[in-house]
A and B are shown apart, each in its own frame.
Chain A
Amino acid sequence: MKAKKFKAVPLAILALIIVLIAASCSKSASQDPGKGTPSSSPSGTQSATASADDKTPITLTMFGADPNPNWENMESPVGKKITEITGVKLQMEYAIGDQKQKISLMAASGEYPDLIFAHGNENILVDAGAYLDLTDLIEKYGPNIKKLYGDYLSRLRWNGQDKSIYYLGSFGVNDKQWKPATGFELQHAVVKDLGYPKLKTLQDFENAIKTYKDKHPTIDGQPTIGLSLLADDWRYKITVTNPAVFSTGGPDDGEWWVDPETHKAKFHYTRPEEKEYFKWLNHMNAVGLLDKESFVQKYDQYNAKISSGRVIALADANWEYVDAERALRQAGKDDRMYGMYPITLREDIKYADFQSAGYSAGWGVGISKTAKDPVRAIKFLDWLASDEAQILNYWGIEGVHYKIENGKRVIPPEEMAKRVSDPEYGKKTGIGVFTYPFPQQGIGVLDPSGQTYTTDSLEQIKANYTAAEKDVLSHYGVEMWKDLYPPTESFPVKPWGAAWQINIPQNTDAAVIAQKCEDIVKKKVPQMILAKPGEFDRIWDEFMADLDKAGVHKMEDEFSKLLADKIKLWNE
């Protein structure tokens, strides 16, 4: 009995294996569009001379370093439409986890897909000679690309030594900013309760938190939390250290502060003004207004606290707490949502959230040197940059996702409701799937008919405000949150773009120093904030000494060179 049973198991397994192999073989044979489709190779030789509307079916392989959760295998209405118009079917391969590893392997092996989006790791591929220089291809086949980037096309060049264009920048060109990205946040209930106090300086901010917390020691039966910060992994930069730059008037240049006169870069912590900010955080902790768990909580815990409605103040970027706010809204706690205020250290400092960085290429999609048909590839990218494609990608298909009324594109209310509430909307329709990281028009840019390419509009943002929000805004005498901030026009355009987009070259001393400095910041900043106020100065001095020892000035010099090279390249 036993022996028989023992034999039956392997036999059953063997049978299963055979069935599964048979199934997967037949499947992979039919499911291999990547290579050998008869149409792809002839078109490769022909298309150099073929007309612009070559629509022979072709599959282009593409690597995306940044996964797109809405990727729909080009099976959505918009995806199908794109294949119908261009003949191109994209076969995507996304990196998950460590993109740099995968890209290094690609570079080491010399095998590339047709299109590559390396998302900040372009230098590895440029080193390996993986990209085609797109300059001539754009000249020949890229009228729409030229139009979309305009004068910024020259900003796509790699650097001072190598002026090739290796990829098409993926950020919206000429983006208009309609919403503040960062700021200091207070619950609507707080400002309302305190009679809409003046909120300009950290002192005002602190007073508001203190007064409200003393008055309402609990919210919904749980202890009120003053200001909560988050230091989970890289997020410490968003809520702990970035506000030090912003509240002292610096624009968002990542870990850098660039002197507007000399264009010399500084590791921003070394500015004396920032000592004041961290001292204030230290004081906030000492008087019990800072969340005790600021440096240990995980993102989920932070979100849970915020969505319970008892965190009255934040110093965060909007995108980081927006999900928690959605939960508050769903629970009907509108007055526990947050207003954004441009708080600064002193009243004479301007909060620079709206300062323009001009256009920075950053990163984007390039064509590999092993691409089977570079001409079709550039034509595809060029088509994606066209008005037709931009409108299709932002608005969808006419008559289905939007309609034309009096010559204007209008999204019917029921479709709009789906757009806002259905998290799967992008995946189902394909809208928005082919914008980033491909070339895209910025928010607020107008098409030839005078309408925006993107669906965002000021009216739509306002329509989305809650009653509590509108109430607060009206008491501060403005219509939108952005109106509280110093406007874009009051700042010069930064000639270096966004400093955080400049990569320190890999495998250099400066790159190692940067890592060391990051570790010092991570260690010292929480230490100085949680220290007894009497010890703050000593720890700050240690902090500066440690940075010095790690070679921060050498790194700053290297970075300033990169910055100078970029400014020179852009102004040629």
Chain B
Amino acid sequence: MGTEKRKPFLEVLIRQRYLFLMSFPFLAWLFVFSYVPIWGWTMAFQSFRPGKAFGEQKWVGFDNFIALFADERFYMVLRNTLGMSLLALLVGYTVPIIFALILNEVRHQLFKRSIQTITYLPHFVSWVIVAGLVSKMLSIEGIINEILMSLHIVNEPVQFMQKERWFWGIVTASDMWKETGWNSIIFLAAIIGIDPELHEAATVDGAGRFRRMWHITLPGIRPTIMVMLILSIGWLTSIGFEKQFLLGNPIVNDYAEVLDLYVLNYGIKVGRYSYGTAIGIFNSLVSIILLVISNAIFKRTTKESVI
């Protein structure tokens, strides 16, 4: 790269013409579909009313941001959002990797494929239905309580859904059930890309199964793991609200309401589109800062990075 820079730009352009042709048209595409609509951010500085022309809108400066940072509820939903995303990152991210590693050890192809297909099924069940199943399972007369009672672990049925402190765990576990198979697909694909000669060489050297997993498979998929991790860290504040909303109830709401639901309730639902946009901007800025920081850290420590 250092040598490239010293060469005349035109020469590089010609030599790498295919690379430019293969990427820049798409950048123009992104510019139109992703960057142009950013003018919508102006809405955050207005008191936007739909149906009025741009010139007719009232400008309010930073009022929406001031109102946002002054609202106690905002900090509560931010805590819940970050709490649940960190758990999701911890569990929802490592479990699929482990699952992929283990599944990769299955030699019987048909069995392996069947397991893959079965474990990815729950991804296609909507949260409405998953939430219904989970609530039923965890109810007083649900199967979990029945098992706990019959094993004499508890004497009274446990009201799982009424425990504020357990809510994050319930969401994370449901998410794990729903998405582990699906999320492991990408790691399975990455594992296949590892040169089999490496495994053969290690086996000849007498490396056991777990050592091969640790020293060959895991490093082999490290680029994928790191890229996924960096991208997910950027999404810490935007986790959607569907599952929390559907699994939640009034009793645990102080731990269930997340930022995206707050946007809906205090933005769109009451007609404050500008407020919603202000939160969107806040979200984007946090995401980009997180992305840049994590990217820099990983670049220095693992040599893997996104940008």
On whether the beta carbons of A296 and B162 are closer than 8 Å, the reply is yes
Partner of B73, one of A232, A298, A519: A519
Residue of A nearest to B264 (CB): A98
CB-CB under 8 A from A511, the residues of chain B are 270-272
Q: How far is the CA of A525 from the CA of B266 in the complex (A)?
A: 21
Interface size on B, residues (CB 8 A): 30
Query: Could you mark each residue 152-168 of chain B with 1 if its beta carbon is under 8 Å from any beta carbon of chain A, else 0?
Result: 00000001011000000
CA distance A411 to B250 in the complex (A): 47
Given contacts A127-B51, A292-B159, contact A100 B253 (CB under 8 A): no
A367 to chain B, nearest CB (A): 17
For A168, list chain B residues within 8 Å (CB).
none
Contact A129 B51 (CB under 8 A): yes
Given A236-B250, A298-B131, A298-B135, decide whether A128 and B52 contact each other with a Cβ distance below 8 A. Answer: yes
Knowing A127-B52, A301-B139 touch, does A515 contact B270 (C-beta < 8 A)? yes
Tell me which residues from 269 to 314 in chain A have a Cβ below 8 Å from any Cβ of chain B.
Answer: 292-293, 295-298, 300-301
Q: Kindly state whether residue B93 has any CB partner on chain A within 8 Å.
A: no
Known contacts A107-B50, A295-B249; is A514 also within 8 Å of B135 by CB? no
| C-alpha spacing A296/B272, complex, angstroms | 30
Q: Which of B159, B161, B266, B268 contacts A100 (CB 8 A)?
A: B268
Q: Does A421 contact B (CB under 8 A)?
A: no
Residue among A100, A232, A522 making CB contact with B269, cutoff 8 Å: A100
**Taking the nearest CB of chain B, how far is it from the CB of A250, in angstroms?**
22
CB distance from B261 to the nearest CB of A (A): 11
At the interface, yes or no: A498 with Cβ under 8 Å from chain B?
Answer: no
Q: Smallest Cβ distance from B103 to chain A, in angstroms?
A: 24
Q: Mark interface residues in B34-56 (1 if CB within 8 Å of A CB, else 0).
A: 00000000000001111110000
Name the residue of chain B whose CB is nearest to the CB of A514. Answer: B270
Contact A101 B251 (CB under 8 A): no
Residue of B nearest to A240 (CB): B250
Give the distance to chain A from B189, nearest Cβ to Cβ, in Å.
17
Residues of B near A519 (CB, < 8 A) are 73, 253, 265
Query: Considering the complex, which residues of chain A in the window 96-137 have a beta carbon less than 8 Å from any beta carbon of chain B?
Result: 98, 100-101, 104-105, 107-108, 110, 124-125, 127-130
Interface size on A, residues (CB 8 A): 41
B136: Cβ under 8 A from any A Cβ: yes
Cβ distance A419 to chain B, nearest Cβ, rounded Å: 31
Task: Confirm or deny: B140 has a beta carbon within 8 angstroms of a beta carbon on chain A.
Answer: yes
Residues of B within 8 A of A516 (CB): 73
Q: How far apart are the CA atoms of A530 and B131 in the complex, in Å?
A: 24
Of the candidates B48, B51, B140, B254, the one whose C-beta lies within 8 Å of that of A523 is B254
Q: Mark B138-178, 1 if CB is under 8 A from A, else 0.
A: 01100000000000000000010110000000000000000
Question: Is A295 a contact partner of B270 (Cβ separation < 8 A)?
Answer: no
Q: Which residue on chain B has the smallest CB distance to residue A507?
A: B271
Q: How far is the CA of A516 from the CA of B274 in the complex (A)?
A: 18
Per-position 1/0 for A534-555, Cβ under 8 A of B: 0000000000000000000000
20 A-B pairs besides A128-B52, A507-B47, A515-B265 with CB distance below 8 A are A101-B268, A104-B273, A107-B50, A108-B50, A110-B51, A124-B271, A128-B51, A292-B159, A293-B159, A296-B159, A298-B132, A301-B135, A507-B271, A511-B272, A515-B269, A519-B253, A519-B265, A522-B253, A523-B254, A527-B251
A-B contacts, 18 listed (Cβ < 8 Å): A108-B50, A124-B50, A124-B271, A231-B249, A232-B249, A292-B140, A296-B159, A298-B131, A301-B139, A507-B48, A507-B274, A511-B270, A512-B270, A514-B270, A515-B270, A519-B265, A523-B254, A526-B251
Closest 7 interchain pairs by CB?
Answer: A128-B51, A506-B271, A107-B51, A507-B271, A511-B270, A296-B161, A104-B50
